[in-house]
Amino acid sequence: MSPSCCKGKQVHPTKTGVAAGLEPGAEYPVESPVSKPGDKDACCDGDNVEPVAQTGSQKLVKLEKMANSCTECIDAPKPEQPCCDESCMVRIAVRECEDSCGSDKTCATASSGCKDLESKDDCCTKAPEAARIKKTPCQSHMQSVKSRFQPTLEGLGCICRALLALNLESCCVTGQNAQRKSRQPGARTYDPCSSSSTSLKSAKDDGCCSMAPPGSCKKPAEPRLSITSCAKICCSEKSKPPAIGTPDDCCSGGSCSKEKANLGATASEIGSDLEQGAINAEHVVLSIQGMTCTGCETKLERSLANIRGVSKIKTSLILSRAEFDVNIAHISVDGAVTRLQKATGFECQRLSTDGHELEVLLPDALETVLQHLPSGVLSIDPTTYATLKITYDPQLIGARDIVESAFDQQLELAPYRPDPSISAGNKHVWQMGLAALISACLTVPVLVLAWAPLPKREITNGSISLALATVVQIFIAGPFYPAALKSLIFARVIEMDLLIVLSTSAAYIFSIVAFAMLVARKPLSTGEFFETSTLLVTLIMLGRFITALARQKAIESISIRSLQQSTTMLVESDGTSTRDIDVRLLQYGDTFRVMPEAKVVTDGTVISGTSEINESMITGESNPVVKSKGSPVVAGSINGPGTLDIRLTRLCGDNTISTIANMVDEAKLSKPKTQELADRVAGYFVPVIVAITIVTFVIWVAVGITIQQRSSSDATVQAVTYAIAVLIISCPCAIGLAVPMVIVIAGGVAAEKGVIFKTADTIEAARNVTHVVFDKTGTLTIGRLNVKESYHVNGLATDVRPILLGLVSGIKHPVSQAITEHLQSLGVSPATVLNVKSLPGKGVLGNWNGSEIRAGNALWTQATPISKVQQFLTTDSTVLCFTINNTLQAIYALQDTLRPEAAHVVSTLQAKGISVSIVSGDETGAVQKTAERLGIPSSNALSRCSPTDKHTYIQMLKTSSTGSTILFLGDGTNDAIALASADIGIHMSEGTDVARSAADVVLTRANLRGVLVLMELSDKALRRIMFNFAWSFVYNLFAILLAAGAFVKFRVPPAFAGVGEIVSVLPVIIIAVGLRWARFSA
C-alpha cells in the first residue's frame, strides 16, 4: 500500500469500528495490518490512511475519527454490502452542530450546549501525529439525525439518495460536491482537509487535496436504488493513477507519491472512467433561444452528443432549455457552450443552479467592489446585461447586507427578470412577430403589383418586386440558410429549415430566371412569380409567430413561479415599524408582515397574529386553513382577513414555490416512450418529404409533356410549383409537439391539484395501474395516534415512564410521537438513554444504565404470549410493548383514525378493477380491522411488515401476472424501499416537505384522492396525445396529396402552402391546453 497524499491519522484500512459493532467514542486495540504489494491508495478526503509498520504491536484508535475521516473510501464495501454506516450519520450530525453553533464553536459531546474552540489545527500543515481537536456531535443532533436516517440506512444500506433528495451533500462523497447542481468558481464547498467537517471554502481556492489525482478518492456519481450499484458507485476505489500536484498542494513537492507530476495527462490517463460518471463533471443548464420546432431540438441534442466530454443530455423545446454534464478534463464549460452555439446557431445563456445570486447595476467604484470580497461573498461576475452577478452564501451573509453595507457603498439591484424559460420564450415570440410584420410590409407591395389591375409596366413592376423579394429572402428567410447548413453538417439532421430553404429558394431563383428572360425579351410562358416566394416566407413567419405565441401563453398559464411575489413588507428590529423591500433582499432572521388578502412571499412560521390562509394554489386544498402563532405557512398561499407577522424559514430561491417548480421542470425535461416514438417518426419525416417532392416533380414533368402536351419548359415550371407546395405544406412540428405540449400542460394541471410528477413516464404509466398498495399508518389513517389505554406490569411504584420517554423522544414514527406527547402531557421528564436506534418494522432499541431497553411491537419484544398483551391485540388498536432486559414493563394501546376519503378512494379503485392491498408494520388486529372497514380482502392485508417485507410483496405482485403495474403509496422513510421498487411510488407529503422524497410522485397535501387524480389525468393526457398523433397523420396525408395535385380539381398554390404550419400545429396546442379545463371526478 502506498502512502496517501496527505499524512493524516492512522486508521485501520480493513475494518471500521461501527461496521464491527463497536461503540462510538470508545477506544479499542486494533492489530496493525501488513502492507502488501498492489494495495490501493486510500482516499485523501480528510484524515488519510498511512501504512502502519509491521511491528505486531497493538494501537489505540478512537472512533470519533470517523466523523471527518474517509473511512467509507478506505474499505470500499463489496457489491453485496451497504455503502454507508453509522459514521455517515456522525458526519451529518457534526455538520448540523456547526450549522447551529457557527464555525467557531463546537457542540459539547454529552450535551446540546456549545463551547468555544481555543484553537484549530490545520491537518495539512501540522504533522500527522500532532494533537488535533476533533468535533463530535452533541446528543441532541445525533438523536435527531438517527431518527431521520437510521430507517433508510438499515433498509437500503445507503442514505445518499435521501440526502440528495433534500439537496444536501451526500455523505459518501466527502470533498466532492454531490448535490444535483452546478459547481461554479467560488461556490460553497466542504473542505475535505480541514479540521472541521463542515469547513467552508471557496471553490476557487486550492484546498490541501484539491490537486489529488482523479480516481484516488471516492468518485461522485448519481445514487442508485439497488444496494449493489450503490456499493459499486459510491464507495468503489480505483486503481492507482499517476499523481498530479502543484506547489500549493498539501504535500511538499507537489506530487503526493513523490513521482514526477504529469500535468499533460488526459482524463483516461489519470483514471477517469466515463462509464461510471466523470469525476470532474460540472452540471450545466442553458437557456436556448432560437428553437422553433422539434427539428431544432433534435439538432440541439445531436450537437451536444457530438461534443466530447458532454453527457447526461436533457433538452426541452417547450422550456427552451438544455441540461447536461461537462467533464472538464476534456473541455471547459465555456468551450462546450461556444461549440454548441457554432454548431446550432442558437443563442445560449447559462443559468445558475448553485448558490444564491444577486444582480446589481454596475457601481461607480467598480474596481473597489471587485477587489474586496466580504466574508460570505463567493464570486462577482459581469453579465451581458451591464450588471454584476454576486454569488453568496446566505448562511454567512445576507442579501440586504451585501447591497446596503458589505462593499462600503450602497449598491442598486438590477431590474427584476422573470423565469428564464418565460423570458426566453417571450423574446422568441417578439422576434418572430417582428420578422412576420416586416415580411408582411414588404410582401404587400409585391402582391399589389402582381394581382392588382395596374398598367402593364412589366420591367418596372418586375424590378420593384425583385428588390422587395430580395430583401425578404436575405433578411427574413436568410437565417434559415445557416441553420439548415449547420444542421446538415454538424448534427447530420435534415430538418424543417431545409424544406423552407429549398422551397423559397426554388421560387425565388426561378422568378429571377424568368425576370431575366423577360428583360432579354425571351419571356417564359409563366412569367416571374416573386409573390410566391415573398408570400411563402411571410406565411411561414406568421405561422411560427402564432404557434410560438400560443405555446408561450400555454406555458405561462401553468407557470408555478408566477406565484412568487416581487415585494414584501419587512418588519424592522423594533417589531412595529415596517418598510417595503424587494423579496430578493430577504435574509435569514427576517420577519415579514402579510396584510389581509395578500400573498405569502416565502415559507415561514407565524410569530404573531391569527388568520385563515388559502393554500389551494400550492396544495390544491380549497378550504382555508387557520394559522396562528407557531403555524407554518408556505409561499404562494393567500392570506385571509387577519394580519400575520411571519419569521422567514426559507429564502425565495429555496421555498416551496421554487421546489415544486424545479420538480415540474424536471418532469418536462424527461421524455416518455411515446415521445421517443414521435422523435423517430419526425426524424424520418423530412427525408421522406424530400423524396416525395422529387417524385412529384418527375411525375408532373412527365404528365405535362406526355399527357397535357406542354412544352418541356412549361411542364418544368408547372412541376416546380407542385414540388414547392409539397415541400412547404408538410409539417413535422405537429408530430414533435404532440407529446411534450400535453406533458407540460399535464404537469401544470397536476401541480395545481397538489400532485407533482417527477418524470413524464409516470404520466404515461399511471393509467395502466393494476395494483395499488397502501401503507396504513399516516397513509390510510391520519397518522395522529392517541393513547387509548395503558398498562404497567408493576404499577407506578417502579415508574418506567421516564425511561420510555427518553427512548422514544426524537423518533419521528407516529407511534413514538404519540407516546412522547402522551407522557409529556402527564409531566414526565425523560431519562438519559444512550445508543438509541430505530428499527423499521420493529421498534426502538436503546441502552439505559447498562440495560437493554426496547419499545416496539409485541412480536419483536417477545411479549406476545402474555395474556394482557393478547387482550390488547384482539382490539383494533396499535400495541406498543416496553421491555427492560427482555422483561415486559408496560403496554400501550393506541388508536388512529381513518382518513375520511379512504373508503371512497378504495371503492373507486376496486370499481375500476384495480386490486388494493395494505402492507403495514402494525399488529395483525389493527391491520385486519382497517382492511375490514375499507372492504379490502383479508388476504390482501399484511401486518408486521418490515421494509424488506414490503419490497418482497411488491416484487411478488410484479411476478404474479405479466403486464402488471404496481403503485405504492406511503408517507415515511420506512417506505423508501417500497417506493423505489414499485412501478409508481407516491409519497404523501405535507406543505414545505415536498423535496424530502425520492418517489416518482409527491402529493403536496395529505389526501388520498391524489391517487385518483393521478390516474384520471394520465388517462386524459394519453387520449390527447393519441388525438394529436392522429391529427398530425391525417393533416400531413391530405395536405401532401392536395399540394402534389392528387385531386384534379383541387390543389394548394405554392404561395399559400406556407399556411400549413398554422393549420397543423394550432390544433395540437389547443387540444393540449384544453386539459386545463378538463373536469376531474376526483
- Nearest residue to 919 via CA among 951, 892, 889, 874: 951
Count of CA atoms in the C-beta half-sphere (13 A) of 1082: 25
C-alpha cell, 743: 406533458
**58: which strand partners?**
31
Angle, CA of 935, 939 and 944, to the nearest 5°: 105
DSSP for 185-239, written as a single string: TT-EEE-TTSSSTT-EEETTS--TTTTPPTTSSPPP----SSHHHHHHHHH---P
* Rounded distance between C-alpha atoms, residue 201 and residue 199, angstroms: 7
* Rounded distance between C-alpha atoms, residue 245 and residue 178, angstroms: 23
Burial of 100 (0-12, 13-18, 19+ CB in 10 A): middle
Reduced 3-state DSSP string for 618-636: HHCCCCCEEECCCCEECCC
Cell 418586386, residue?
Answer: 465
CA 63 to chain centre: 36
* Rounded distance between C-alpha atoms, residue 687 and residue 986, angstroms: 43
Query: Each residue of 391-428: b (16+ CB within 10 Å) or e?
Result: bbbbebbbbbbbbeebbeeebebbeeeebbbbebbbeb
- Is residue 1034 a contact partner of residue 997, using CB atoms and an 8 Å limit? no
**967: which strand partners?**
772, 984
DSSP H or E stretch at residue 115: strand 114-116
- Is residue 261 a contact partner of residue 245, using CB atoms and an 8 Å limit? yes
- Nearest residue to 1025 via CA among 769, 768, 735, 752: 735
For the chain, the first-to-last Cα distance in angstroms comes to 64
Sign of CA dihedral 200, 206, 208, 212: positive
What are phi and psi for residue 889, nearest 5 degrees?
-115, -35
What are phi and psi for residue 629, nearest 5 degrees?
-55, 130
**Alpha helix locations (H) across 236-359?**
294-305, 333-344
C-alpha cell, 641: 382577513
- Nearest residue to 188 via CA among 180, 196, 197, 199: 199
* Rounded distance between C-alpha atoms, residue 823 and residue 698, angstroms: 91
Sign of CA dihedral 175, 181, 183, 186: negative
Cell 426561378, residue?
Answer: 510
Residue 403 gets which letter from DSSP? I
Active site (annotated) includes residue 775 = yes
Considering just the CA atoms, what is the radius of gyration of the chain in Å? 34
Among 47, 654, 775, 971, the active-site one is: 775
Residues 6 or more apart whose CB falls under 8 angstroms from that of 1061 comprise 540, 543, 544, 547, 731, 733
Which residues are identified as catalytic? 775
